[in-house]
Amino acid sequence: MSSDPFIIAGTALSSRLFVGSARYPSQQVMLDAMAASEPCMVTMSIRRISLEGYAGSLVDLLGDRYRILPNTAGCVTARDAILTAELAREALGTNWIKLELIGDRDLLYPDVEQLVHAADELVRKGFVVLPYCNEDPVACQKLADVGCAAVMPLGSLIGSGRGIANPAAIELVCNRSPVPVVLDAGIGTASDAVLAMELGCDAVMVDTAIAKAHDPVKMAAAMKAAVAAGRSARLAGRIPKKSFAEPSSPQLGLIAT
């Protein structure tokens, strides 16, 4: 048992990194990247069966090695998101769902009103709900209040690689959330993941930053190290920021000519 367990809904997870399974240059690169990043969860979408991508047997490849977290990506109504979650439960045999409810197709920004409604209903139906949400302490509190097992606030827009646009808001969410906080969306490089963990996030979700990196496998390893470094720094406790210099070397015994 880890001395620093990461637990969602009573389940101890194997790491503090969630990864996506989309946008990789090839299936083999994806598998190699996942071997390097050692994620606790791999996200997948649920799509109509005629839309066949290269991932013909993706679950066969991933299901034995990783915990699969289906999402409701692309859903714009609570009704579609709820049905997608129910289809995911039937297809994959898991009651865990990454709940995404999009309010703007260009920004992929969450629709908080529908998100809370859908989360409430899914919790009542027995789902473990992890909502992709705004970096808003009130929205996150409402999601926790209806029974979400964690919250997944956005660092910045999905796929934008812009990092954590509002670190103060993420820190507020982390300080006040009664459930684990998984930073989702916007991670561009390893330092963004370090910052998320230093701010108090319990875990980080990364897809594009790994899949679209020049060397996805190397970036996957960097993300694993970043999450570990950021978590250690958080537990170690950073020094307070000061306005003036504070000498590191002793002030006594200084020569004077």
Site residues, another protein (CB under 8 A): 20-24, 30, 43-51, 53, 55, 58-60, 68, 70-71, 73, 79, 83-84, 86-92, 158-159, 207-208
| Closer Cβ to another protein, 98 or 234, answer by number | 98
C-beta separation of 24 from 33 below 8 A: yes
C-beta separation of 162 from 186 below 8 A: yes
| Closer Cβ to another protein, 8 or 41, answer by number | 41
- CB of 98 vs another protein, minimal distance in Å: 9
Cα–Cα distance measured from residue 160 to residue 8, given in angstroms and rounded to the nearest whole number = 27
Please pick, among 98, 125, 218, 241, the residue that the annotation labels catalytic.
Answer: 98
**In this structure, how many other beta carbons lie within 10 angstroms of the beta carbon of residue 10?**
7
The DSSP call for residue 146 is T
| Closer Cβ to another protein, 89 or 142, answer by number | 89
Tokens describing residue 146: 């209806």
Tell me, rounded to whole angstroms, the distance of Cα 168 from its chain centroid: 18
C-beta separation of 220 from 37 below 8 A: yes
- CB of 246 vs another protein, minimal distance in Å: 44
CA 228, 203, 13, 232 torsion: positive or negative?
A: positive
- CB of 212 vs another protein, minimal distance in Å: 11
**CA angle at residue 140 from 111 to 241, to 5 degrees?**
120
CA distances from 63 to 26, 44, 50, 57 (A): 18, 11, 22, 10
125 assigned to active site: no
Secondary structure (DSSP) of 237-252: -PPPP-SS---SS-ST
- CB of 106 vs another protein, minimal distance in Å: 17
- CB of 127 vs another protein, minimal distance in Å: 13
| Closer Cβ to another protein, 37 or 84, answer by number | 84
| Closer Cβ to another protein, 19 or 170, answer by number | 19
Residues classed as catalytic: 98
